[in-house]
Amino acid sequence: MNGAESLVKTLVENGIDVCFSNPGTSEMHFVAALDSEPRMRGVLCMFEGVCSGAADGYARIAGKPASTLLHLGSGLSNASANLHNAKKGNVPIVNIIGDHALRHHQYETPLRSDIKTLAAPVSHWVHAAPNAEGMSDDVAAAITAAGKRKIASLILPADVSWSDNADEGIKIAKLEPLPIANDNTIDEAHSKLTNGKKTVILVGGTITASLSQQLSQIAAATGAKICAETFPTRMYRGAGSGVLEKLPYLAEQAIAYLAEYQQIILLGANPPIAFFAYPGVPSELQAAGTDIISLAAPDHDVEATVVNLMKKMGDLPEPNCFPDQKLPLAEGELNSFTVCQSLANLLPDNAIIVDEGATSSLPLYPMTQTSAPHDWLTLTGGAIGFGLPCAVGAAVAAPDRKVVCLEGDGSAMYTIQALWTMAKENLDVCVIVFNNAKYNILELEFARTGAPGGKPGKKAGAMFDIGNPSVDFVSVAKSYGIYGVRCDSAESFNNALKEALAHKGPRVIEAMVPPFQLTP
Amino acid sequence: MNGAESLVKTLVENGIDVCFSNPGTSEMHFVAALDSEPRMRGVLCMFEGVCSGAADGYARIAGKPASTLLHLGSGLSNASANLHNAKKGNVPIVNIIGDHALRHHQYETPLRSDIKTLAAPVSHWVHAAPNAEGMSDDVAAAITAAGKRKIASLILPADVSWSDNADEGIKIAKLEPLPIANDNTIDEAHSKLTNGKKTVILVGGTITASLSQQLSQIAAATGAKICAETFPTRMYRGAGSGVLEKLPYLAEQAIAYLAEYQQIILLGANPPIAFFAYPGVPSELQAAGTDIISLAAPDHDVEATVVNLMKKMGDLPEPNCFPDQKLPLAEGELNSFTVCQSLANLLPDNAIIVDEGATSSLPLYPMTQTSAPHDWLTLTGGAIGFGLPCAVGAAVAAPDRKVVCLEGDGSAMYTIQALWTMAKENLDVCVIVFNNAKYNILELEFARTGAPGGKPGKKAGAMFDIGNPSVDFVSVAKSYGIYGVRCDSAESFNNALKEALAHKGPRVIEAMVPPFQLTP
């Protein structure tokens, strides 16, 4: 058995049976090994940022890691923005990064680079496999690392891959349980919840149906407010989900929101900090003197921690859940609000929403609060280009669920190649692109950062103008063999959306909308 | 003056008046500063890999650096593959990488990352500006570093950018001359050239008209062979360029080529090493016992070194140049050979060829040896996705020259967003995409790496198949507002190419070709 075969076998024996791949010459033995292992599914992507974003989306939905196959340091670089997003979201991924043969490392060659250094900022665990013999051990160690909701990057030199002396024994990773809050911490949280002070539980990461329901019970019993972080990794929402709020994105609004609380209990969330710094606006969003404790860190077992907390609390009221109460279909002008309203109406049961719609999809969150139950995936690391790849991965993980991916015209462009993989794999994804011909969020942020003049002049404004030419997303879809339709009224959008949701496979809907205004 | 204004002013006072930009919120003051400095041209790109690749192409043609504007660590990550290429090609770039405000660094936020570590592998010089006051000094230091044909990365915290206490004095970078070979080294090279042993001068980096002509004189005087490295940064070619050969890409062929030489003199080139390692094939391409000396390193002044060498050599024969001898237009079947033959015929005077055609454009190099004079830009670092962005930069640098960019269907996809900037800036680029519906080079390499079976099986083969669906490049062009045409005969290609070359502005020609075979 060669190193590559041992690698692939160890992955599948440990339940990692999808590899989002963009191979090159140094990875040919890994590619060959796919033929020897029927259980491994190779999903080809035309850009490495699609591989990593897809692995992120896959793991969020499958609850277990996928692998990526990347071509040396440059392939890793292309994957890094979406690895960053996954890392921030505590999403596990096992990267296989091909490298030159060990004997080739000493030479200056075009593709030689410092892969370990490149990998470090976007990984929790980095290891270069030194030989084929120990390959299965190395892969098992990577999987163990990833099992802690981490990014594991295994560097695979070509000669390690092709050497025929891999150990025949396949190792099984020893997955450790995620940490659970200890009794003292739970007692402290419990006492805070019952000391009469105004308290918000800021919950982040993966918020399951049961977690949101349980938190709603705690809220009912204690008067605490439940609030999700602005960009949770995965959030069960809609009818039947436990009632909670969401921390606003805009720092001023978040500060106003948190001002009324004396205590913040962090549950799988980091302390509330402004997304960006602004002149004259504090970075810390809570009021001065607010008491903050962490009940569970983002890489802890939040659900088990909450179960233990509930045991301390004794009998609790019934969950307080959002009702099933759909907004009517929108009519008339097509804009961010009418698009979101119609989607809130038509959203199928158990859909997965991937939200990278920036300003344009802002109305969707409140509007879908009482829609059909669904999962909501957000941009956890702020690196644009996550949405379409994430939708690829989510659809691979859950072929029986409809994925709805919301994109801005600007954000869609970063990893547009994901559409090709949707077509190749016939993934059930409905992509809705808001085409407003602007980097609208930057226009919004320009004034907020206190940039001189408040409004961009001609040259600065040109940096936000993507309307000359405006991207034609029907042609974009056609490029990759996907049917796309352009809509410029609520009625045409409603029809296109109904048709896309009834269709099994990828579709693109281009919604021609005016730039989003904070008030409609 | 705020930090951003000082930054932009220092750039333009030092002759850096183009910024390939993909800004975000943390860069808003830099964007605002564009309005205050009419000499700085901001060129918006829809993906950061376009920014860095464009800066590469710009510097190769303009002979001076451009700047990039990148959004924090993730923007840098997206730019890194093309920074890697530029670094390998010894092409100067000044990166401006926005970052959170200094006071914001202490907090865990979605976009926080270790920018210095991310920048290190793709930069020669990395510095985080600590305050606005010293901004002009920091920028001048970056420009000084870049002046040595290096990548300089200046990290710009948002509050440094917006602070109003920048020094009013604008600093001018002290550019040091590039190193020239000393007398001893020149004497050693001279004695090798005249000791009667078989010698090849391996020349790399930027090969100007005069350099190729001078080298042809040295060859005529000494019997040495002049050979360009496989992937030079910029090479003057065609009628009137000095006669030289090129080291083959395939390791076996390169080994055979070099086998007959006893001495190798490196001139702006690294020692000849196989692009990839292969089982049973040595990494070093020269024969055992070959004597290798370096006359000038890639970041040295190769031209001045050669002038000094020529002074030692006394009277030399006239340059030996390629004649003006165009191939006829091709007829009949459209394939890699007929596409290249017709382009060799029609190539306009003083064109710039950007070659990322992988297997499909292999015939073009020999066929254009006697075409109209032109510059040839290659993929110096092996990271795919360089071509279209490089063409953007070359066209910005030389608006009066026709840029012809050759792409494979696979390679075009990595940074396809570059087409939008071509349209927005109305750049005079003719893009020729060879659509063979394959990662053909990987199919070729599969067998060469000794992968089991020699030929890919069904699952491995699927990793090279980009024909299901095949990308439709006429629609791709239309997506970005560019006219594209699909050709499936030599005659239709000839017509499309004539029309594209007569047109001033971007065009896409999709050449439907069979996979390249090593023999036609």
Chain segment A324-364, per-residue pLDDT in tens = 999 999 999 999 999 999 999 999 999 999 999 999 999 99
Closest by CA position to B386, among listed B364, B359, B419, B411? B411
DSSP state of B103: G
Q: Minimal Cα–Cα distance from A178 to chain B, Å? A: 21
CB contact under 8 A, B104 and A276: yes
**Which pLDDT does position A453 carry in this prediction?**
80
Q: Check whether A520 has a pLDDT greater than 50.
A: no
**Which pLDDT does position B99 carry in this prediction?**
98
pTM assigned to the model:
0.98
At A516, the pLDDT band (50, 70, 90 cuts) reads confident
> What is the rounded CA–CA span in Å between residue B24 and residue B312?
55
Cβ of residue A249 closer than 8 Å to a chain B Cβ: no
pLDDT, tens digit, for every residue of B114-151? Answer: 999 999 999 999 999 999 999 999 999 999 999 999 99
Nearest beta carbon to residue B120 from set A74, A117, A445: A117
Q: What phi and psi values does residue B317 have, to the nearest 5 degrees?
A: -65, 165
Mean pLDDT of A92-97: 98
**Which pLDDT does position B518 carry in this prediction?**
63
CB contact under 8 A, A80 and B77: yes
Two structure tokens written together for A196:
């009469």
Q: Minimal Cα–Cα distance from A320 to chain B, Å? A: 30
Residues B191, B196, B201: CA angle, nearest 5 degrees: 65
**CA B295 and chain centroid, separation:** 23
> What is the rounded CA–CA span in Å between residue B35 and residue B160?
19
pLDDT, chain B, mean: 97
Helix (H, G, I), strand (E, B) or coil at B293: strand
Cβ of residue A287 closer than 8 Å to a chain B Cβ: no
Q: Check whether A138 has a pLDDT greater than 70.
A: yes
> What is the rounded CA–CA span in Å between residue B411 and residue B408?
5
pLDDT, tens digit, for every residue of A1-37? Answer: 999 999 999 999 999 999 999 999 999 999 999 999 9
Q: What phi and psi values does residue A255 have, to the nearest 5 degrees?
A: -65, -45
At A451, the pLDDT band (50, 70, 90 cuts) reads confident
Mean pLDDT of B151-179: 97
Q: Is the dihedral of CA B277, B282, B287, B293 positive or negative?
A: positive
Q: Is the dihedral of CA B154, B155, B156, B159 positive or negative?
A: negative
Two structure tokens written together for A205:
């990461």
Q: Minimal Cα–Cα distance from B463 to chain A, Å? A: 6
Please, are residues B44 and B71 in contact by the beta-carbon 8 Å criterion?
Answer: no
Cβ under 8 Å to A: B residues 382-401: 382-385
What residues in B contact A380, CB-CB < 8 Å?
Answer: 110
Residues A414, A149, A161: CA angle, nearest 5 degrees: 75
Helix (H, G, I), strand (E, B) or coil at B36: coil
Nearest beta carbon to residue B413 from set A47, A103, A471: A47
ipTM: 0.98
pLDDT, tens digit, for every residue of B336-381? Answer: 999 999 999 999 999 999 999 999 999 999 999 999 999 999 999 9
**Which pLDDT does position A517 carry in this prediction?**
74
> What is the rounded CA–CA span in Å between residue A156 and residue A133?
13
At A408, the pLDDT band (50, 70, 90 cuts) reads very high
CB contact under 8 A, A84 and B74: yes
Q: Check whether B269 has a pLDDT greater than 70.
A: yes
Cβ contacts below 8 Å, chain A against chain B, sum to: 323
Q: What phi and psi values does residue A111 have, to the nearest 5 degrees?
A: -95, 0
pLDDT, tens digit, for every residue of A50-85? Answer: 999 999 999 999 999 999 999 999 999 999 999 999
Cβ of residue A454 closer than 8 Å to a chain B Cβ: no
Q: Minimal Cα–Cα distance from B319 to chain A, Å? A: 31
Q: Check whether B520 has a pLDDT greater than 60.
A: no
**Which pLDDT does position B15 carry in this prediction?**
98
B28-35 helix and A440-448 helix, angle to the nearest 10 degrees:
90
Strand partners, B199: B263
Cβ of residue B111 closer than 8 Å to a chain A Cβ: yes
Q: What percent of chain A has pLDDT over 90?
A: 97
At A518, the pLDDT band (50, 70, 90 cuts) reads low
